[in-house]
Amino acid sequence: MSLRGDVCLVTGACGFLGTRLVRLLLEEENAAEIRLMDKQVQPTFVQSLEGCRGDTALSVFQGDIRDGDFLRKACRGASVVFHVAAIVDVTDAVEYSEMYAVNVKGTQLLLEACLQENVASFVYTSTIEVMGPNAKGEPVVNGDEDTAYDGALKFNYSKTKREAEQRTLRAHDEALQNGGRLATCALRCMYIYGEGCRFLLHHMGDGVRNKDVLIRMSLPEARVNPVYVGNVAAAHLQAARSLKDPQRRSIAGGKFYFISDDTPHASYSDFNHAVMAPLGFGIQEKLIVPLGVFYVFCFIMEVLCVMLRPFVRVTPPLKRRLLTMLNTPFSFSYQKAKRDLGYAPRYTWEEARKRTTEWLASELPKERERLSVK
C-alpha cells in the first residue's frame, strides 16, 4: 500500500523531523500533492525540494495552528495529515498557556478540521515523554506498549503531549462529513537525533566552551535508546500506509506505538560522546558533583527563581525533573510497530552515526566562530 495519488499535509514541515519526512515523501511516494504547513515557510526551503519532487505538487500553508479557519483551508481536499508540529520544551521556559494552546488546542482544532474536511488518516507525532520517566525515576528497560508504569508527569511539555495524544486516539473512527471514518494513530518516538538536532548542537557548544570536553549530565548506567531522525520519518510513512490499508487499519487504528531503532543503548551523555568523539571531543568521567548534591543545587535554584517570579521570570538552566530524566534508565522496543505497521529501521546505527557526525563536523567551525565572537 502506497500513498500514490494522495494529498498529504505535514504540519511543522520546516522543523527537524518535518523536513526529513517531507523529503522522504517526495523520494518514495508519488503523492499528488504535499502541503507544507508551518508558522513560517522560507522560499529557499521550497526551492530546495524542487529537484526531488517529480510530478508531486508542493503547496505552502503558512499560518497559526490555533486558527481553525486556516486549518480547515489547509485540510480541504487532503487525504492524510502528519501532525508533527509542537512546542518542544523540557526546561519549562515557555509559558504553560502558550504550550497548551499549541500542543493541545492546536491538535484538537486540527482533528476537527480533518472531520469537517473529510481527511481519512491522521498520524500524530508523540514522544516517549508521555510515558515518563516519573518523578521517582523508576526505570524501564526494553519496555513495550503493554508495560505498566506510574507516569506521574512533571514537565508541561509531557503533560500537553499526552493530552494531545489521548485526543488523537479518541478521535479514531469518528464520522467524517462524507460518511467515512477518520483513522488515527500515534507514534511515541524516543529522543530523536540526527542532522539538524538542536540539542546535539547545544551539547557540542557546551563542549567547545569546556575545551572540547563534553560535560557529563547523566550516569553511564542511565541507558536510553535514541532513535535516528531518518528512521522516525520512515515510521511515519509506514504508519500512514497502514492506516490506508483496510486490514492494517483495523489493527493499528486508535493505537500508539513506540518508535526506536538499533542505536545502542547508552546514557544521554555517553550517546553525545559516541557521535562527537570522531571530532576530537572527550567526556568527563564523572558528574561534576555527586547526583544527590546536584539535586540539592537544582532545588535551591528553583526556590530562588520562584522568589524572583513577582519581579522577573527566570528559568533555571536545570531542574530536578530534567535531572531525573537524564539519569533514569528508560528504553522501549519497536517490535509492536514492526508487527502491526511493518516498520523496520531504514538506517543502521553505523550509517546514522556517520551521517550525524558528518553534519556536526560541518557545524563545528561555525560553532567555534560563534563562541569566539561572544
Are the C-beta atoms of 145 and 334 separated by less than 8 Å? Answer: no
- Note whether 149 and 134 are within 8 A (CB): yes
What is the rounded distance in angstroms from the CA atom of residue 28 to the CA atom of residue 276?
A: 31
Q: At 293, list the grid cell.
A: 548534591
Where b means 16+ CB within 10 Å and e means fewer, 256-283 reads bbbbbbbbebbbbbbbbbbbbeeeebeb
Cα–Cα distance measured from residue 301 to residue 321, given in angstroms and rounded to the nearest whole number: 13
Q: Which of 96, 100, 149, 157 is catalytic?
A: 157
Q: Which sign, positive or negative, has the C-alpha torsion 242, 243, 246, 251?
A: positive
Q: Which of 187, 146, 143, 186 is nearest to 332 (CA)?
A: 143
DSSP letter (8 states) at residue 277: G
Spatial separation of the C-alpha atoms in residues 172 and 222, rounded to whole Å: 36
CA 368, 369, 370, 371 dihedral sign is positive
157 labelled catalytic:
yes
Distance CA 261, CA 334 (A): 7
Q: Nine-digit cell at 107?
A: 491538535
Residue 265 near residue 331, CB atoms below 8 Å: yes
Q: Select from 81, 152, 144, 146 the least CA-distant residue to 114.
A: 81
CA-based end-to-end distance of the chain: 53
Residues 6+ apart with CB under 8 A from 69: none
Catalytic residues, by residue number, are 157
